[in-house]
Amino acid sequence: MSHENESTAEEDQVRARAIVLRQLAMAPKSRHQLALKLSQRDIPEEAANAVLDRFEQVELIDDAEFAFMWVRSRAQTRSLARPALKRELAEKGIASDLAEEALAQLSDEDERAAAEALVRRRLRADAAAERTGRDKEMRRLVGMLGRKGYNGGLAFSVVRTVLDELTP
């Protein structure tokens, strides 16, 4: 009977390895994301942990590197501010200290430049649309930055600066 249990545990680990390799082939993932996927596929926790531990040992799973790459990518492609990025990292199971280290690569200047670029893009996209007043435009643009995770003070400052540049 114990022989059957051993082969079942071994089979579970083989299945778990295959699932993890497929997931990592699609895109980098955190340990937490992979553990969720294994759980959804009914891999016993014991087998999942054994496989995930081994993948960490050989550095195929590295939450610190994942967080660093995630922050760099999302800051560039989505122009997200640090609070929004921190929230996304938490959702992916990244420990707070690793998230802070990854977020440290973004400076206040980087964040401000990204916010200004977002406002400029939005204004260009809306240039053809009828302008209905600076206050309404200010609220709309500040709201857009707020949804991207920028704080209110920075958002108002950036929008005011860009609107002043573009308004005669």
The tens digit of pLDDT for each residue in 44-53 reads 999 999 999 9
Query: In this structure, are residues 63 and 34 in contact, taking their beta carbons and an 8 Å threshold?
Result: no
| pLDDT, position 3 | 47
| pLDDT, position 7 | 56
Q: State the pLDDT confidence band at 124, using cuts at 50, 70 and 90.
A: confident
- Which residue type, as a one-letter code, is found at position 64? A
- Which residue type, as a one-letter code, is found at position 104? A
Q: Estimate to the nearest angstrom the gap between the alpha carbon of 11 and the chain centroid.
A: 33
CATH of domain 2-61: 1.10.10
Per-domain residue ranges of the chain: 2-61, 64-103, 108-166
Query: In this structure, are residues 148 and 111 in contact, taking their beta carbons and an 8 Å threshold?
Result: no
For range 46-75, the mean pLDDT: 95
pTM attached to this predicted model: 0.76
92's CB contacts (< 8 A; 6+ apart) are: 30, 32, 33, 66, 70
Question: What's the CA gap between 16 and 43, in Å, rounded?
Answer: 7
Tokens of 138: 């200010």
